[in-house]
Amino acid sequence: MRARRPPDSMPPELQLAIGLVWGHLHAYQYEEAHSLALGCLQLWPGDDKLQLLCAHAGAELLEPVDAARLRALRNPTNACWVELVLRRAQYPAGAPPQSKGQA
């Protein structure tokens, strides 16, 4: 007999979608990750994980990131991820933050 899925778990299709977007990000394929995440958000518009992955890919592509929306998504389990995306959006790839003495 098959074990029942707990009611609060996400559907397998959503798990697969998140895994595919994450795989593109992990392979530094930011354009593909961003396109896929945008498409997945049309199917699952309220999913926080997809929104964070989409924002991460967008930040890597130097797309504008909605900082207010990201801050609204922040909770104890993803606070570090939100901060990472906000930092990546503020400092483009290859441009580390400058100290006050360097500016």
Q: What is the pLDDT of residues 45-69, one digit of tens each?
A: 989 999 999 999 999 999 998 999 9
Residue 31 placed within a domain: yes
Residue 56 placed within a domain: yes
Q: Are 73 and 52 in contact (CB under 8 A)?
A: yes
What share of residues in the chain are helix, strand, coil (percent, to 5)? 60, 0, 40
Q: What is the mean pLDDT of residues 64-92?
A: 89
Who contacts 50 (Cβ-Cβ below 8 Å, separation ≥6)? 14, 17, 18, 21, 37, 40, 41, 44
Domain count, the chain: 1
Report pLDDT for 94.
53
Mean pLDDT, the chain, whole residue set: 87
Residue 85 placed within a domain: yes
Q: Rounded to two decimals, what is the model's pTM?
A: 0.79
Residue 58 placed within a domain: yes
Residue 102 placed within a domain: no
Domain span at 17: 12-90
Report pLDDT for 10.
85
Q: What is the mean pLDDT of residues 76-91?
A: 89
